[in-house]
Amino acid sequence: MDEAQADNDGFRFKAEVQVRFRDLDPMNHVNNAVYLTYFEIARTAYWAAMTGSSELRDLDQILAETTCTYRSPATFNERLDVWLKATRLGRSSFDYAYRINERTGGRLIATGRSVQVMYDYAAGRPIPIPDELRARFAEFEGRQFEG
């Protein structure tokens, strides 16, 4: 991460997305549901960068909640920066914050939040966040988390 990214309202990670034709609704702007896909793209890229693994079997978490606040419509072929940061680590859950900006002018497109829960798929239940993962979050975000 470069210094310009590190001084971006605490956001240190971004994924880049280009608006595709299939993302549009009949009004020719990105359909509201597609923003959750943009969040997912950033979430999986963040996890791979933080953990060093992009294997599906290593995504031992489930999405519990997500919200999106729409600020400005995105349109065909725009390039978007989807910023993500971890904001809270609980016992078994953790939160991400999102911000989507149009790359060229920096126009704010949307903001959001999600809650993930560490999950043992074999046992079918939540599990505590491992200490090693807590340390990775702290290193990746460049700060300590309470709790």
Average pLDDT, the chain: 93
**141 pLDDT tier (thresholds 50, 70, 90):** very high
Q: In the structure, what pLDDT confidence band is assigned to residue 4 with cuts at 50, 70 and 90?
A: very low
101 C-beta neighbours (distance < 10 Å), count: 22
- Tell me the mean pLDDT in the region 41-57: 91
Q: What is the pLDDT of residue 51?
A: 93
For residue 38, give the H/E element and its range: helix 34-51
Report the alpha-carbon distance of residue 66 to residue 132 in Å, rounded. Answer: 25
6 pLDDT more than 70: no
- Contact of 94 with 116, CB cutoff 8 Å: yes
- 119 has pLDDT over 80: yes
List the domain boundaries for the chain: 3-141
Instruction: Name residue 142's amino acid.
Output: G
> Do 109 and 71 meet the contact criterion of CB atoms below 8 Å apart?
yes
Pairwise CA distance, residues 51 & 136, whole Å: 7
Q: What is the pLDDT of residues 72-118, one digit of tens each?
A: 999 999 999 999 999 999 999 999 999 999 999 999 999 999 999 99
Residue 142 has pLDDT above 90, yes or no: yes
The residue among 132 and 3 whose pLDDT is bigger is: 132
Q: What is the 8-class DSSP label of residue 13? A: E
CATH number of 3-141: 3.10.129.10
What pLDDT is recorded for position 136? 96
Average pLDDT over residues 108-135: 97
